[in-house]
Structure 1
Amino acid sequence: MAKIAPECRYSEEHEWVATRSDSMAWVGVSAVATDALGEIVYLDLPEAGSEVTAGSTCGEIESTKSVSDLYSPVSGTVVEVNQEAIDNPALVNEDPYGAGWLFTVEVTSEGPLLSAEEYASKNGGEL
Structure 2
Amino acid sequence: MASCVLRKVANPQIFRYLSKNAASINVVKRQTRKIHSTPFVLQKYFTEKHEWVDVPEGSTQGTVGITDYAQDKLGEVVYVQLPEKGDSLEADGEAGVLESVKAASDIYSPVTGEVTDVNQAVADNPKAINDSPYEDGWLFKLTLSSPSELENLMNEESYEEYLKTCD
Fold-level similarity (TM above 0.5) = yes
SS at structure 2 position matched to 1:78: strand
Q: Which residue of 2 aligns with 1:63?
A: 100
The amino acid of 1:114's aligned partner reads M
Cα distance in 2, alignment partners of residues 8 and 34 from structure 1 = 17
1:51 aligns with 2:88: yes
1:113 corresponds, among 140, 148, 153, to: 153
> 1:22 Cα deviation (Å)?
1.1
| Structure 1 gaps, min length 5 | 1-5
Cα distance in 2, alignment partners of residues 86 and 24 from structure 1 = 21
Cα distance in 1, alignment partners of residues 144 and 46 from structure 2 = 15
SS at structure 1 position matched to 2:80: strand
> 1:107 Cα deviation (Å)?
0.5
- Asked which structure has the greater CA Rg, the reply is 2
Q: Which residue of 2 aligns with 1:123?
A: 163
> 1:28 Cα deviation (Å)?
0.3
CA deviations 1:3-49 (Å, max 9, x no partner) are xxx94110111000101361100000000000000000011111000
TM-score, reference length from structure 1: 0.89
Aligned pairs, number: 119
CA RMSD of aligned residues (A): 1.4
1:16 aligns with 2:18: no
| Structure 2 gaps, min length 5 | 1-41
Cα distance in 2, alignment partners of residues 72 and 95 from structure 1 = 19
Structure number having the greater helix percentage: 2
Which structure is higher in RCO with an 8 Å CA cutoff and minimum separation 6? Answer: 1
Matches within 5 A, 1:35-50: 35-50=72-87
The amino acid of 1:121's aligned partner reads E
TM-score, reference length from structure 2: 0.68
The amino acid of 1:11's aligned partner reads T
The list of structure 1 runs, each at least 4 consecutive aligned residues, that deviate by more than 6 angstroms after superposition, is none
1:86 aligns with 2:86: no
Deviates more, 1:38-47 or 1:15-24: 15-24
